[in-house]
Chains A and B, each alone.
Chain A
Amino acid sequence: MAQILLVDDDLGFLEATTELLELLQHTVVSASTVEQAQRAASGRSFDHVILDLIMPDGSGLHVLDSIKNRDQTRVTLVTGHPSVKSIVKDLYGPNISYLIKPIDLAQLQSLFEADDDVGEADAALHFGHLVGESAPMQKLYQMIERVSQTKANVLLMGESGVGKEVVASAIHAASKPKGAFVPANCGAFARDLISSELFGHEKGAFTGATHRKAGVFELAHEGTLFLDEVTEMPIDQQPNLLRVLETHKVTRLGATSAIDVDCRVVSATNRSEMDIAEQGCLREDLYFRLAVFPIHIPPLRQRPDDIPMLIEFFLAGFNRQYKASIAIDPKDLARLQAYDWPGNVRELRHAVHRAFIMADPETQMLVLPDDLSSPFSKVGDNKNAGITVGKTVEDVERELIESTLEHLGGDKKKAAEMLGVSLKTLYNRLNSYSEQ
């Protein structure tokens, strides 16, 4: 069973094909204009998009930009001319199939045959988005399950690259809401446009407001609004956000009346609760509104058992996208599993993608670089660390112990092993620091 977006301006074709695909047990969203399709697709995931290339209001390919999981979506173009194939292939890569008119059942079914193994891989996804079976992830799934039964706002915390937006999508999927998933990045808004982006504006509300625009709150009505990097929002703008969260009403800039909005707000930050409180980047009242249910997403190094599964997932995606069948050598897999991934799942995906591009065409195996570490690696983060003249041996030792512990997520047993000291020695040192 696939999730399909069908876009064609011929209403007769649209209706019959939708019914046909539904009879074949697929879920179909249909649209007869590019605009309608973009609205339907916004922030949603589809396995397949079946498109008419030439639509009255523009190219059908514009729809693809609105789809969330563009990498994993298979695109099929409906065309009357087989010659279109070669032209489009050059423009949009090989991951495109074709339905040549007149279309029959065999043609339609052939689109989904190749999907069978994909279906199995996707079945392993939790809430349609998350990969991993480790204990920290099981805990996370349990929390998602619980919170999805409620309307509570969620604050996601975790290091950069742990997949906060993916977890937000999972919460959205688990809640089965009527509305859409609308992601917005608070750090990316221009300072003077934040209110307009969040709450929308009426035509003529300010210089440059040539059209009426709905804000992200309105778009997420009856759905989920994902506010990424919420702690980067200027402090003087935060009371406006707080008001909407308290009243469940937004007023577009320049409008005279308010609109009711009912959506779950999932916000995210890579700062810790301690940082948020100490650095004052979030107003206290806003924090309590956003973090009704805080969730910590574990860094990848705390769940190394999930690494092979994640690699398999990314590799399957790239193989599908490029119609390839690249595999990974068990030795390389062990190397990837041993690395500590300071950039988390994002860094892992990037490494697999790079190794996929470098793959040996003869052996059909991934080729890893000699050095896995990224320029953003944690080692460089701690500017105070390291040996400089003037530091005492005790200071250096303390720094070494503290960074090792931080790196291992506080696991003292592992830290003692890594430092080559007994657990007892480590405890003695830590006790002496706390006495100081």
Chain B
Amino acid sequence: MSSDTQRLLHDVRNPLNNISVNAELGKLTLERTGDTDKATAIFERILQECRRCDTVLSELRDQLSHEQSANGTDAGDNA
């Protein structure tokens, strides 16, 4: 696995982590304060983090297909 791939795998955890923390925050906000405006803002953050997650996953897909095609060429040369 290349270092770029490893970095992307690491990076995907950050938005995922923020989705988790915000989901807990949203749940607790509704349970304890019933503040729906606040909860709406928190859901907006979750959606934003989902989009960030999507961006990293797209980069990861591109990186992996790039690596695969590079490996494929190598195999062809060896054969």
Contact = CB atoms under 8 A, between A and B. Distances in A.
A and B interact physically: yes
Contact of A17 (B19, B21, B49): B21
Contacts of A103: 17, 20-21
Interface in B1-21: 10, 13-21
Contacts of B24: 20, 104-105, 108
A6 to B, nearest CB: 11
Chain A: interface size category: 10 to 19
B25 A19 contact: yes
Nearest to A81: B10
Interface in A58-84: 80-81
A24 B13 CA distance: 24
Interface stretch (A8-16, A278-286, A339-347, A350-358): A8-16
Given A12-B45, A16-B45, A101 B25 contact: no
Contact of B21 (A16, A80, A81): A16
Main secondary structure of the interface of B (DSSP, over half): helix
Contacts of A102: 13, 16-17, 19-21
Contacts of B15: 12
Nearest to A102: B20
A13 B25 contact: no
Contacts of A16: 18, 21-22, 25, 42, 45
B14 A13 contact: yes
Contact of A23 (B10, B13, B22, B32): B32
Contacts of B48: 12
Nearest to A20: B25
Contacts of A20: 21, 24-25, 28
A276 B61 CA distance: 76
A24 B33 CA distance: 12
Contacts of A80: 10, 13-14, 17
Contacts of A13: 14, 17-18, 21
Contacts of A101: 13-14, 16-17, 20
A12 B21 CA distance: 10
A424 to B, nearest CB: 71
A16 B21 CA distance: 6
A17 B23 CA distance: 11
Contacts of A23: 25, 28-29, 32-33
Contacts of A104: 20-21, 24
A239 to B, nearest CB: 55
Interface string A1-37: 0000000001011001101100110000000000000
A53 to B, nearest CB: 13
Given A80-B13, A101-B13, A102-B13, A12 B25 contact: no
Contacts of B33: 23
B70 to A, nearest CB: 27
A104 B42 CA distance: 15
Contacts of B28: 20, 23-24, 105
A255 to B, nearest CB: 44
A54 to B, nearest CB: 10
A108 B24 CA distance: 10
B43 to A, nearest CB: 12
8 contacts: A12-B45, A16-B22, A16-B25, A20-B28, A23-B33, A81-B10, A102-B13, A105-B28
Given A23-B29, A103-B21, 8 more contacts: A13-B14, A16-B18, A16-B21, A23-B32, A23-B33, A101-B13, A102-B19, A102-B21
Top-4 shortest CB links A-B: A102-B20, A101-B17, A105-B24, A80-B13
